[in-house]
Structure 1
Amino acid sequence: MNTRNGQVKKGERLARRIARAGVCSRRQAERLIAEGRVRVNGRVVDTPAINVTEEDEILVDDTPLPRPEPVRLWRYYKPRGLVVSERDERGRPTIFDSLPPDLGRVITVGRLDLNSEGLLLLTNDGRLARALELPSHGWRRRYRVRAFGNISPSALEALKEGIEIDGVRYGPIEATLDRAEGANKWFTFVLREGKNREIRRICEHLGLKVNRLLRTAYGPFQLGALKKGEVVEVPRKQLKEQLGRLLDEIENANGP
């Protein structure tokens, strides 16, 4: 960690700064540093464990680092059959294979599993992604769920107190039966955490087999009329209205 006159130098980690400039992911930035391809103020660095500020000159492969873009957020309708990952070890198609090439490097806010669809938020800022995922912010995720099976109203009502399955504790969930459709039923699930495959595991525990899962909202951001595979940027005005102080804190930390 950098020091100056015995004091810790303020700023941010070098790898994060490279990633925030849109050059590559943080993990890839760490590899570039280890390979000796990054210079800070004329000196080759071999560790990402240093802090840098906007005053530092950073070169990657002898090219100056571009200045970070303003924080941006997009709404994306993730179709079924795509993995939410930059690459998949089993060779399955990922969302990044289908996103518009001019979108640039983006980070997902949370995930949707392979067979789930609907609203997925994308951002160019890792700090914003992490903040929006925190349960402490209390953002509600809303899902439309089609499932086969029967369940009593009291079992749905009990989910408001949370539930424990195989040693995993799930927080309070609002679940309502909307309508029947042949042998299937449509439900609305609202939750604040979004653990891995949470809705599917809870439904299975209750004797329901999910055959369609669609996220319709994440906090104040709605799926709306988006078509499958479509990406639409959240207007700057709406972003400031919805994120308020959080956006200010992130952009102030990012520097001018």
Structure 2
Amino acid sequence: MERLQKVIANAGITSRRKAEQLIIDGRVRVNHQIVKELGTKVSFQDIVEVDDIPIEKQTKSHTFLFYKPRGVISSVKDEKDRKTVTSFFEDFDYRLYPVGRLDYDTSGLILMTNDGDLANGLMHPRNKVDKVYVAKIAGFLTKDEIRQLQKGVVIDGKKTSPAKVKVISSDSKKKTSIVRLTIHEGRNHQVKNMFKAVGHPVDKLSREQYAFLDQTSLVSGKYRELSRQEVAQLKELIVK
């Protein structure tokens, strides 16, 4: 007999802590009955379902690189019934979850996986996994503003970690610039808030690289499954 949350986590659906929340939220059934008791134990003979999908259909790990379009929510469900990243994977017979988030109006690369340990490892701040964004901003960055972004700016009372900044181009007529920003943090609206902190609101934003993975061969709304080698490389980025 094993604790229910451990069985769910071992199936690669999500982390044990998030599995506990799934149970509390009433999204887990044992033998077709909703179970909300965290101390519940189950055996291999019991039928365990998460969101009405038996976990035995989710035991093999899958990780996809997905090019999220603008106007799509980076979550499993949305209270406003807007399109979510999981809606692009509805025909699969296993559940996938987004690794972190991209804003509703931000396009670009996001990982989708049913490997809870991989997801949590990649999102943990200590592992400092680089994400590369390209932003169209208002105005032109000065050398001092670039240095501020590189050293870190204060957002909500907390300084951001050092970033890499490169101005790709500037449009003197439209008074806009295209800037590449590399960070490893994942705070809410971080890229937009960083540029806002130095006086340059973001007009358009896209994530073009996640760790060593880039958007080559992908267009908006499309995805590809990562190879075993790519998954192994991602796991090498995670501190044990």
Which TM-score band (shorter chain)?
0.7 to 0.9
Task: Quote how far apart the aligned CAs of 1:98 are.
Answer: 3.1
Q: Is the 8 Å Cα contact of residues 20 and 68 (structure 1) preserved in structure 2?
A: no
- 1:104-123 alignment to 2 at 5 Å? 104-123=94-113
Task: Quote how far apart the aligned CAs of 1:130 are.
Answer: 0.8
1:237 aligned to which of 207, 225, 229: 229
Match of 1:185 in 2: 177
Q: Is the 8 Å Cα contact of residues 19 and 29 (structure 1) preserved in structure 2?
A: no
Rounded to whole Å, the distance in 2 between the matches of 1:234 and 1:65 is 22
Give the unaligned 5+ runs of structure 1: 3-10, 250-256
The alignment's TM-score, normalised by the length of structure 2, stands at 0.81
Q: State the secondary structure of the residue aligned to 2:92.
A: helix
Q: State the secondary structure of the residue aligned to 2:37.
A: coil
Structure 1 runs (4+) deviating above 6 angstroms are 22-25
- 1:84-163 alignment to 2 at 5 Å? 84-102=74-92, 104-163=94-153
Rounded to whole Å, the distance in 2 between the matches of 1:86 and 1:15 is 19
- When structure 1 is superposed on structure 2, of 134-143 and 174-183 the one drifting more is 174-183
Rounded to whole Å, the distance in 1 between the matches of 2:204 and 2:76 is 24
Aligned residue pairs: how many?
Answer: 228
Task: Quote how far apart the aligned CAs of 1:140 are.
Answer: 0.7
Give the unaligned 5+ runs of structure 2: none
Task: Quote how far apart the aligned CAs of 1:160 are.
Answer: 2.2
The Cα offsets for residues 194-244 of structure 1, whole Å up to 9 and x where unpaired, read as 211011011112111211111111112222231100010001133224424
Rate the CA distance shift 1:38–1:216 in 2: closer, same or farther, 3 A: same
Q: State the secondary structure of the residue aligned to 1:66.
A: helix
Match of 2:196 in 1: 204
- When structure 1 is superposed on structure 2, of 104-113 and 163-172 the one drifting more is 163-172
Task: Quote how far apart the aligned CAs of 1:185 are.
Answer: 0.6
Amino acid at match of 1:192: H
The Cα offsets for residues 70-92 of structure 1, whole Å up to 9 and x where unpaired, read as 32211000000111122222232
Match of 1:73 in 2: 63
- 1:216-235 alignment to 2 at 5 Å? 216-235=208-227
The Cα offsets for residues 88-142 of structure 1, whole Å up to 9 and x where unpaired, read as 2223222223335226311111100011010000111222111111121121111
Identity of aligned residues (%): 26
- Greater Rg by CA: 1
Matched, 1:173 2:157: no
Q: State the secondary structure of the residue aligned to 1:190.
A: strand
The alignment's TM-score, normalised by the length of structure 1, stands at 0.76
Rounded to whole Å, the distance in 2 between the matches of 1:144 and 1:88 is 26
Rate the CA distance shift 1:241–1:87 in 2: closer, same or farther, 3 A: closer
